[in-house]
Amino acid sequence: MLDLIPTLGGWAPALARQRFAVATIVRASGSVPRPVGTSMLVSEDGSILGSLSGGCVEGAVVAAALESMDDGATRRETFGFSAEDAFAVGLTCGGELDVHIEPANRTRGCRLGEAVQQLSACAPDHPVALVRRLDPQPGGGGSSAVVIPEPGSASVPGHPELAALLDSLPDTSPDTGGNAGTRRARAARLESFLHAGGTGVLNLAGAGLCAGEAIVLVESRLAAPRLLVFGANDFSAALIPAAKPLGYHVTLVDARPAFACQARFGPADEVVTAWPHQYLAAEAAAGRVDGRTVICVLTHDPKFDIPLLQTALALDTAFIGALGSRRSHVQRVDALLDRGVGPERLARLHSPLGLDIGAVTPAEVAVSVLAELIAARNKAASHQPLSETSGPIHQPAAPPLNTPAPAPAPTNVKQQEIAWT
């Protein structure tokens, strides 16, 4: 559902006047176009917001959504590939989806409609979470749905509606110390998921909790991770706007006002004129650098790069990369070793920065850098063309970057030297 926030605002007036249903992917296996949590809204006049599969199953989902609005019942539909029947509704990519379809008829006391209205008022990048109960409920009534602002610090006791949702789940097993023990166990598991910014289906029954099913869908979105770009030049001017669609909050830092204050860096969320290593140290001391922060050093000037990289490599961040040639990389490593930076810290440095795609122009270099960022947070990535690999295309979502890959070692392969700015 959270993926629809940027466009929900335009739908809010219509949704307040008419019935609608929410179709959400709650299980995905194999090669599928969209992950768990992806939603599509269907209004009673047949209007659609969002997509679940890029077109493979939408028609069947719309039909089921219209039926759910008529009878008020929740549905769970499974879609997969059918080799026997070429005209069967299914996924041509060969994967399988379970889609939960629920009417949001506000007159029936369903909280889902109110939750959608709340989400429509959220800013596109604001941290928020949605927790929905998916297990079968007595009488087939409307679901429980709770919107939680600032999920990174949320607690169940601090949200009475969330506590009530957990209390509404099936009765506990005496093995966990009765109701109080189950509440604590459920709250701890849910809070952990919210704090991590995770999206997935949790069965809060199971071992150590209770028998049967107590299923909730949790979608949690934290504040955007930071991308700190050091160096105001042609390469950062290309990288900054390209990184924004990936969800980063981008800060450009340069010690030279004449370079930093150019209009071409307008797409950055922040532009800071300061010595790079001093700025980074101050941000870290203020708690604004964490395990999701990405640092890209594009200055290619030792008087900036060396103290900055020395500071950065002492911090626990997601990714640290430095642009330049292999000769520059060797010189950086030698300088950092002279400053006492240990080999275990240097192994975290991605230098030369970027995947080897033959990039030369600033726009191509930006693609190369972002390709390495994406590959680094998806450890299963092979870095090969899909046409030359086999197996599933879509891998399970990786946790936030916190274990950067070792830096590539210097090589004797002769490569084109680029005069970096």
How far, in Å, CA of 327 to CA of 151, rounded?
45
Q: What residues contact residue 314 under an 8 Å CB cut-off, 6+ apart?
A: 345
Flag whether the pTM goes above 0.95.
no
Q: Which single residue is written with the structure tokens 């849910």? A: 190
Secondary structure of residue 40 in the 3-state scheme? strand
Secondary structure of residue 253 in the 3-state scheme? strand
Q: Which single residue is written with the structure tokens 């299980």? A: 27
**For the chain, domain boundaries:** 1-109, 127-222, 226-388
Which two three-digit tokens encode residue 395?
């891998």
Is residue 351 within 8 Å of residue 322, measured between CB atoms?
yes
What is the structure's pLDDT at 399?
Answer: 44
String of DSSP letters for 303-329:
HHHHHHHHHHTTS--SEEEE-S-HHHH
What is the structure's pLDDT at 227?
Answer: 98
What is the structure's pLDDT at 300?
Answer: 85
Is residue 211 within 8 Å of residue 173, measured between CB atoms?
yes
Beta strands (DSSP E) in 248-377 are 249-254, 270-273, 294-297, 319-322, 349-350
The enclosing H or E element of 242 equals: helix 234-243
What is the structure's pLDDT at 31?
Answer: 63
10 Å CB burial of residue 97 (0-12, 13-18, 19+) is buried
How far, in Å, CA of 258 to CA of 266, rounded?
14
Secondary structure of residue 344 in the 3-state scheme? helix
What is the structure's pLDDT at 97?
Answer: 83
CATH 3.40.50.720 fits 226-388, yes or no: yes
- Cα R_g (the chain), whole angstroms: 25
Is residue 15 within 8 Å of residue 106, measured between CB atoms?
no
Q: Which residues pair with 28 in a beta bridge?
A: 97
Residues in the chain: 421
As averages over each run of 10 residues, the pLDDT of the chain (421 residues) reads: 89 83 87 81 90 78 90 85 42 72 71 88 90 69 79 91 85 54 85 89 62 78 94 97 94 96 96 97 96 94 95 96 93 96 94 92 96 85 69 54 35 28 28
Cα 12 to Cα 38, 104, 107, 121: the distances in Å are: 19, 13, 17, 9
